[in-house]
Amino acid sequence: MNLIIDCGNTRIKLAVFNKSKLIYNEAFTADNFVKVVLNCIDKFNCKHAIISSVGAIKIQEINKIKEKITLIELNSSTKIPFLNKYSTPKTLGVDRIGLVAAAVSQFPKTNVLVIDAGTCITYDFVDANANYSGGAISPGIKIRYKSLNKFTKKLPLLEPDFDVELIGDSTEKSIHSGIAFGILGEIDSIIKMYKNKNEDLTVVLTGGDVKFLSNKLKNSIFANSNFLLEGLNSILTYNLK
């Protein structure tokens, strides 16, 4: 059994794979990180693990897990199943590495654009020859809501709502409309630009805000909320060969 640990900006995801099949996953906060991980190792008799962390996990906590299981800490030096042509590879987020690995694993010999709608919206492109050059980073949904509240004196902080009309007839509805259609317009426009440059493009949408976006985009996409977990498992498997 493979144990996958994804430490994001807002929460931690834990998953167990039997080869390539996801058999268990959960999400939790960092408060009981070590306890939850160790319990999962015992429950599923996991033998190998990989951790991808863009959050603040302490070295001491990682060392405690290493005492229990063989653990790969994903970084720029980890062996990966694609050619990383990013000009600053050491600054490339480990979450983006995992997403590209999933694209190469699940859509071999295909041009793939992966859109991760989380705290930030990231765009990552890998070509049919498994060459990764980069992509883009944009503010996510909650960042946009928070920025309108923080950088103005009178606009309220709202919870995301994408079930809105184009024309907002109140301040709150105008905020919802601006953010919702702004993000949808951005994503559809970027997909169109990639399609103009790359034939037979496959587009994958993943991340915590998939539910807000997947049914509202004009372009055809594959929506998969577990894409990063699957990519991390493919990297772990690749390193165990």
**Known binding positions for K(+):** 116
Q: Is 169 a known active-site residue? A: no
Among the options 31, 95, 127, 188, which is catalytic?
95
Strands (E), the chain: 2-7, 12-18, 21-28, 48-53, 70-73, 83-84, 111-117, 120-126, 131-139, 201-206, 222-223
CA distance linking residue 118 with residue 101, whole number of Å: 18
What is the maximum span of the chain, computed from C-alpha positions, in angstroms? 59
Q: Are 95 and 52 in contact (CB under 8 A)?
A: yes
Annotated binding site for ATP: 6-13, 119
Annotated binding site for substrate: 86, 93-96, 171
Long-range contacts made by residues 69-78, C-beta under 8 angstroms, separation at least 24?
A: 69/3, 69/41, 72/48, 72/235, 72/236, 72/239, 74/50, 74/98, 74/232, 74/235, 78/235, 78/239
What residues are labeled active site?
A: 95
